[in-house]
Structures are given as C-alpha cells and as structure tokens.
C-alpha cells in the first residue's frame, strides 16, 4: 500500500511545499500501518509550525483505481496571519513599554516575521526585526535572521549609554537544544554629559577609557536541555544551559566567553491549587570572558563583561550592585560607576509553599524562603597564586530572605525582602525588591 494523490483543502496562503516537506516519510512507507504512523508524525510537525487552527487527514480510495494505493485529503484551517502585542514590563529597576507585530505565514512558507519596539523610562529603546523560517535546507531546522537598532542607558548606575547596531543569522533545531549563530555588531559607548556644561562629561575615568566605537563579529553556540514543567515557576525537572562565544574574526574586538547555568526542582506533598505543597529549587550560573590577541593585555570591553545583582539573580543587591566599581570621587554616579567583571558566579536555594492567604493561593501566588551567594570579579583576583582561594571566599556575597512569587504568562513576578549576611562596603544594597522576568537564578 502506498500513497497515490494528495488533495489539500483550506490552504488559502500556505504553499504546497509546506505539506510536501512533512509527508516525505509517509511517501516512502509501503504498508498501511507505516503510512498511518508517518501521517500522525506529519500532523504533529504541521501543528508545531503554529500556523493552523486545525488539521485533518483522511484516507480515501485511490482515484487511479489501483487497489494498492490510497489518496490523502488534508483539510486545514489557517490561523490569522497577523498578531499585535502591546504591553509593559519592569525588572525592578526601570519600566518599559513594548509592542510587536508578528506576521505568520504571510509568504505561505510557514515563516514568521516580527517587528518589535521597546521604550523605557530611562531613555533606553530597541527596534528589532526578526525573520524565522522552518525546514532550512529541507531539514528539521530553523533559519533565523535578526537586525536591531538599540540604545541602552546605563547612566543611573554606570554613567554611560551604549548604541548598538547589528544583526545575526542563526540555525537551530526544532527542539531548541542546539543553536549556532553568526553575530555582527557596531557598538559605541557614550559617557554621561554634565547637565550644566554640555561639553563636559560626568563619568569616571574607567568609563571614559571605554568611550570609543568598536566592531564585534562573533560565532556563538548554545546548548540547552530543559525538562522543567514551567519556565516561569518550575516545581519539577531541571535545566542545563551552556554557551560559548568567540569574537575576533573581523572587527577590533577579540574575546572568548563561556557561560554555564543550571536549575533543579523537586516537588513534595499533595497538589493544592494546581501546585505541590512544597517545592525545592536549586540554581547556579557561572560565566567567564577573556580577551586575546591584540586585546590580550586589556580587560574585556565593558559591553562584553558580566554584571551581577537584582531581584532575579543575586537578591538583596541592586542591579549592577556587586563587583568592581569606580571610586565615588572619580566623577561618576554617587555610589561609583559599576564597571562589571570578567568572572561571575552565583547560586541559590529556595523552598516554595502556598501563600497563607487563600485568595492569593488560588491565583497561584506562592511564598518562598531563599538563600543566595555570588561574586563578580576580575582575572587578577583569581590568578593570584597565593591568595586566589582567600580572594574568592572574601569576595563572595551572601543573603537570605523571603518573599512572594507569581508565575504569570508574561513572566515571573517576585517581591522579596532580604537580609544581607556578607557584603562589601562599596556594594549597592537593596533589601526590598520587585522584579519581573522570564529568566531567574
């Protein structure tokens, strides 16, 4: 038994090749059982494209009259090809309005074209266009291309703004486990100007030394193994993510950067309001960046360094509140410009439980107790042969606390209060915090 003819109904925009790509295995099948199995897999793949509201495949008597053939009738109902999103978000440090327009399957090849813009109260803004197409080279791969124009204001914490114009091309598998990208970007560091004397700058010498344009061309690989039951409030499963980026093929920025992050979550007790009575979570993040070649004798550019602190990472410390900092006497922000570091690590352990207030518990709001530890430092502190262990122990910050967590469709919302057990005199501490984000550690 083999497939004879294929009839498609309801595909007002979708091209025939989209269906043909997913039917190749079924075409090769020579028994009815294998045909049905491969057609079920084809339906799953077509649904994963997220361009159909419904898909139905019927087997009919072959129009050719051959008894060893069967015809297929595929009936689909296409989704709307336009979607508009308007919203607002906050990370506990600043608020931003965001909007996006997504065109799905507009060209009939299951592609997605997204235009997005974000404007923050601080003056930061991002305009971005993204194109994504499945079945790259006929394989179960996504081809994605992105172009962006960005302005990030760091004047409140580091006395500079950064302009970025760039783009990337990436290839990833359908499961989201592997992602390989080529990234090209032009960056410019703009020190904060004096409000009374426009020709003068109000930034530390450390920031002024970074104030020059740079061009980065890099290749980045990301591996991600994620079996958590929820992205924003997981209670079961784990996450392991590794990334490495090498820059310097073209342009004037040369570095190697690696990051490792992991999570493990355990659930205990009966389910109450859709969540277990208790859940224990353990998370960690490690990161390192090192310059090489013509940049070997200088630290990594400030655009490529790590920063640490905030309600979704090292709780109890403000955004960019930990790590190397310029002296407050150097002319930057009052607490001293945050300069970032080349080595970063942090981890947390927490226990979640139902909110004591029944109404909040019914909404999915949970209480939590947590403990955090972390550090942001430089290679000089680590490569000191005699004191590196003492330096790491002395530099590690520690906090404990409690708060409320709400896993919403727009992200993870946390409201916490922390007690600082170990800090440095120059750290920027913020005991009461509110944060919203899709990632946390």
**What confidence tens digit (pLDDT) does each residue in 318-357 have?**
999 999 999 999 989 999 999 999 999 999 999 999 998 8
The CATH code of the domain that includes 255 is: 2.40.160.50
Q: How far is CA 418 from each of CA 93, 285, 311, 349, 357, rounded to the nearest angstrom? A: 17, 20, 10, 14, 21
Same domain, 120 and 162: yes
Split into its structural domains, the chain has a count of 2
- More confidently predicted of 317 and 380: 317
Mean pLDDT across the chain, nearest whole number? 92
Based on the domain organization, do 111 and 139 belong to the same domain?
yes
Task: Give me the pLDDT at residue 91, please.
Answer: 64
On whether both 149 and 237 belong to a single domain, the answer is yes
131 pLDDT above the threshold of 90: yes
**Mean pLDDT value of segment 381-392:** 84
Both 64 and 150 in one domain: the answer is no
Q: What is the mean pLDDT of residues 14-30?
A: 90
Confidence of residue 437 (pLDDT cuts 50, 70, 90): confident
Tens digits of residue pLDDT in 91-127 = 667 788 999 999 999 999 999 999 999 999 888 999 9
Percentage of residues of the chain with pLDDT beyond 70: 99
pLDDT on residue 344: 97
pLDDT in tens, 180-197: 999 999 999 999 998 888
Separation between Cα atoms, residue 257 and residue 238, nearest integer Å: 24
Last residue of a domain, one of 44, 78, 112: 78
Are residues 411 and 373 part of one domain? yes
Same domain, 160 and 42: no
pLDDT(309) > 80: yes
Among 21, 47, 78, where does a domain finish? Answer: 78
Instruction: Return the structure tokens found at 131.
Output: 């194109």
State residue 132's pLDDT score.
96
- CATH code of the domain in which 72 resides: 3.10.20.310
Q: Are residues 367 and 246 in the same domain?
A: yes
260 — pLDDT class (breaks 50, 70, 90): very high
223: nearest Cα among 179, 171, 169: 179
Residues 9 and 157 in one domain: no
* pLDDT for 92: 61
Residue where a domain stops, chosen among 46, 78, 110: 78
Give yes or no: residues 72 and 88 share one domain: no
The span from the CA of 65 to the CA of 127, in Å, is 57
- Domain range spanning residue 72? 2-78
Tokens representing 435 are: 């944060």
Give residue-wise pLDDT tens across range 57-100.
Answer: 998 888 887 888 888 999 999 999 999 998 877 766 778 899 99
Q: Are residue 109 and residue 251 in the same domain, yes or no? A: yes
pLDDT (0 to 100) of residue 391: 87
Task: Tell whether 62 and 113 lie within a shared domain.
Answer: no
Q: Which of 302, 8, 354, 12 is nearest to 157 (CA)?
A: 302
The percent of residues in the chain predicted with pLDDT above 90, rounded, is 71
Q: 244 and 372: one domain? A: yes
Say what the pLDDT of residue 205 is. Answer: 95
Per-residue pLDDT at 221 exceeds 90: yes
């Amino acid at each position: 038994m083999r497939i004879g003819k294929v009839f498609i109904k309801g595909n007002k925009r979708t091209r025939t090749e989209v269906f043909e790509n997913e039917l190749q295995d079924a075409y090769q099948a020579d028994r009815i059982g294998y045909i049905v199995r491969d057609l079920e897999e084809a339906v799953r793949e077509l649904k994963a494209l997220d361009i159909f509201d419904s898909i139905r495949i019927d087997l009919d008597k072959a129009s050719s009259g051959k008894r060893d053939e069967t015809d297929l009738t595929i009936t689909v109902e296409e989704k709307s090809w336009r979607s508009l999103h308007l919203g607002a978000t906050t990370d506990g440090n600043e608020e931003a309005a965001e909007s996006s327009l997504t065109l799905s399957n507009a060209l009939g090849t299951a592609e997605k074209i997204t235009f997005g813009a974000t404007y923050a109260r601080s003056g930061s803004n991002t305009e971005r266009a993204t194109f994504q197409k499945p079945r790259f080279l006929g394989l179960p791969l996504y081809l994605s291309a992105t172009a962006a124009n960005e302005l990030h204001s760091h004047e409140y914490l580091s006395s500079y703004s950064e302009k970025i114009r760039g783009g990337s091309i990436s290839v990833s598998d359908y499961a989201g486990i592997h992602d390989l990208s080529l990234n090209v970007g032009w960056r410019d560091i703009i020190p904060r100007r004096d409000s009374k004397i426009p020709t003068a700058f109000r930034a530390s010498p450390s920031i002024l030394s970074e104030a020059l344009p740079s061009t980065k061309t890099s290749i980045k690989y990301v591996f991600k193994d994620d079996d958590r039951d929820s992205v924003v409030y997981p209670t079961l499963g784990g996450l392991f993510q590794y990334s490495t980026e090498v820059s310097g093929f073209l342009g004037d920025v040369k570095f190697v950067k690696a990051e490792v992050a992991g999570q493990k979550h355990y659930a205990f007790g009966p389910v109450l309001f859709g969540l277990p009575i208790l859940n224990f979570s353990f998370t960690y993040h490690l990161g390192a960046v090192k310059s090489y070649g013509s940049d070997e004798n200088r630290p990594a550019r400030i655009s490529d360094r790590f920063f640490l602190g905030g309600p979704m990472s090292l709780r109890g410390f403000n955004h960019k509140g930990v790590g190397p900092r310029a002296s407050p006497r150097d002319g930057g922000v009052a607490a001293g410009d945050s300069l970032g570091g080349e080595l970063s690590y942090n981890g947390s352990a927490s226990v979640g439980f139902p909110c004591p207030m029944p109404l909040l518990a019914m909404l999915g709001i949970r209480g939590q107790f947590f403990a955090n530890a972390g550090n942001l430092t430089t290679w000089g502190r680590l490569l000191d042969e005699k004191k590196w262990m003492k330096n790491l122990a002395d530099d590690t910050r520690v906090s404990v606390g409690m708060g409320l967590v709400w896993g919403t469709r727009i992200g993870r919302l946390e409201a916490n209060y922390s007690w600082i057990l170990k800090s440095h005199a120059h750290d920027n501490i913020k005991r009461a915090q509110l944060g919203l984000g899709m990632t946390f550690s």
